[in-house]
Amino acid sequence: MSYEKVDQLSVTQIGEVTSLNKFSDNLEIIRSLSHGYHEIFLVNNKTLNQDCVIKIFPQQVPNQPSENFLKELRVKDLNSPNVIKILDYEIQTEIIINNQPVISSYILMEYAPYKDLLNLISKEGSDIDDVFIRTLFHEIVKGIEYLHSEGIYHLDIKLENILIGENFQLKIADFDNCYKMSDGRISFRGTECSRAIEIARGKCQDPSAADIYSMGVILFALKTGGTFPHTEGKNIGKINLYNLLENKPEEFWIVHSLLLKKSSEYFDNDFKNLFMSMVEKNPQKRATIADIKNSAWFKKEIYSKDEMIQIMKKKLLRDL
């Protein structure tokens, strides 16, 4: 695909309404998707009649693209159904923000219209069937396996960074903290509760193992309807789930069953074994992608692509 380059963009904020207008006819802004350090907008490419997302990265140093932009740009040539696709980018362009010109970079990427995994499972609670969970998890594993095969390590895998695309496929997104082995020391500290222990402690030496840990957190959240396995150093009442997970796993499962008001059989042994192998404290002993794919829980029944489309339609379109 080829996209007409944007020479100048204008971002105007009026109260809570934000609009972006570019001085050409190719991209039409539909609405703002996110405010903060990166402005993100839903746009329509008029030439292709296709909705896309544009993410803007202001340059803090003149003529120097931001580190986050350069990291996210690493996936521009990747091609996987489970990784968000970059359609176009501009290293340097002028954007008008609140009537002030700001030199920025931007990335144009495919639009995932059905939000993210957090939105999906928060609607479902802890009553999602295991076949559905497993089918979603297969897609996540495929996406991460592909990234690792290309030498890319996400390091911020969480529910909000797994989007749901046009055909209801899961899409791993937000690579502005991703890592390559040539980067040297890992300084990124990840997202609290989703990150690996060694990431939180600033001692990560194996980014692949760190991604596996975060995948384990997502697996647990899928099973429990959005409940995290622990809250790191914070107690729930007088209970420290982080400590139980590391030192008293049997109590860990009992407490979570009680918190979810489920029977002790809610977490079956195959699920427990897979999860515990993915969040093993020692990264060198942690499960690999191959171990995950060979686990008893992972190899059980999954839904077909057509079955998943029908299920996702019912779950995601029922409130529209």
Per-residue CA distances from 5 to 76, 88, 89, 101, 169 (Å): 16, 9, 8, 18, 29
Beta strand ranges found along 116-169 (DSSP E): 162-164
The set of residues, in sequence order, having a beta carbon less than 8 Å from that of 39 and lying 6+ positions away, is 11, 18, 20, 32, 55, 56, 97
pLDDT at 236: 83
Contact 23, 8 (CB under 8 A): yes
Determine the Cα–Cα distance for residues 32 and 292; give it in Å rounded to an integer.
38
Average pLDDT over residues 113-124: 90
Contact 4, 26 (CB under 8 A): yes
pLDDT at 265: 92
Amino acid of residue 305: K
Helix (H, G, I), strand (E, B) or coil at 299: coil
CATH 3.40.50.300 fits 8-110, yes or no: no
- Average pLDDT over the chain, rounded to whole? 88
Each domain of the chain, given as residue ranges in start order, spans 8-110, 117-317
Q: How many CB atoms lie within 10 A of CB 262?
A: 14
pLDDT at 74: 93
What would the pLDDT profile of 74-104 be if each residue is shown by its tens digit? 999 999 999 999 999 999 988 776 677 788 8
Q: Which residues pair with 170 in a beta bridge?
A: 164
Q: Which of 30-39, 186-195, 212-221 has the lowest mean pLDDT?
A: 30-39
Helix (H, G, I), strand (E, B) or coil at 161: helix
Q: Is the pLDDT of residue 14 over 50?
A: no
162 burial type by CB count under 10 A (0-12 exposed, 13-18 middle, 19+ buried): buried
Q: Is the pLDDT of residue 21 over 60?
A: no
Dihedral sign computed on CA atoms, order 82, 83, 88, 94: positive
pLDDT at 15: 36
Q: How far is CA 68 from the centre of its chain?
A: 16
Model confidence at 318, in pLDDT bands (50, 70, 90)? low
Determine the Cα–Cα distance for residues 244 and 184; give it in Å rounded to an integer.
33
What would the pLDDT profile of 227-270 be if each residue is shown by its tens digit? 999 988 788 888 999 999 999 999 999 999 999 999 989 999 99
Q: What is the CATH number of domain 117-317?
A: 1.10.510.10
Contact 52, 109 (CB under 8 A): yes
Model confidence at 23, in pLDDT bands (50, 70, 90)? very low
Question: Exactly one of 88, 116, 156, 174 is catalytic; which is it?
Answer: 156
pLDDT at 17: 39
Question: To the nearest whole percent, how much of the chain has pLDDT over 70?
Answer: 90
The set of residues, in sequence order, having a beta carbon less than 8 Å from that of 149 and lying 6+ positions away, is none
**Rounded-to-10 torsion of CA 254, 255, 256, 260:** 100
Determine the Cα–Cα distance for residues 307 and 276; give it in Å rounded to an integer.
30
What would the pLDDT profile of 50-60 be if each residue is shown by its tens digit? 999 999 998 88
Both tokens of 264, joined, read 């002790």
287 burial type by CB count under 10 A (0-12 exposed, 13-18 middle, 19+ buried): buried
Q: In sequence order, what DSSP letters do the residues of 165-198 get, joined into one string?
A: -TTS-EEE---TT-B-GGG-S------TTTS-HH
Average pLDDT over residues 196-208: 93
Look up 156 and say whether it is catalytic. Answer: yes
Q: Which residue has the higher pLDDT, 299 or 182?
A: 299
Question: Are 8-110 and 117-317 the same fold in CATH?
Answer: no
Both tokens of 224, joined, read 């429990």
pLDDT at 317: 84
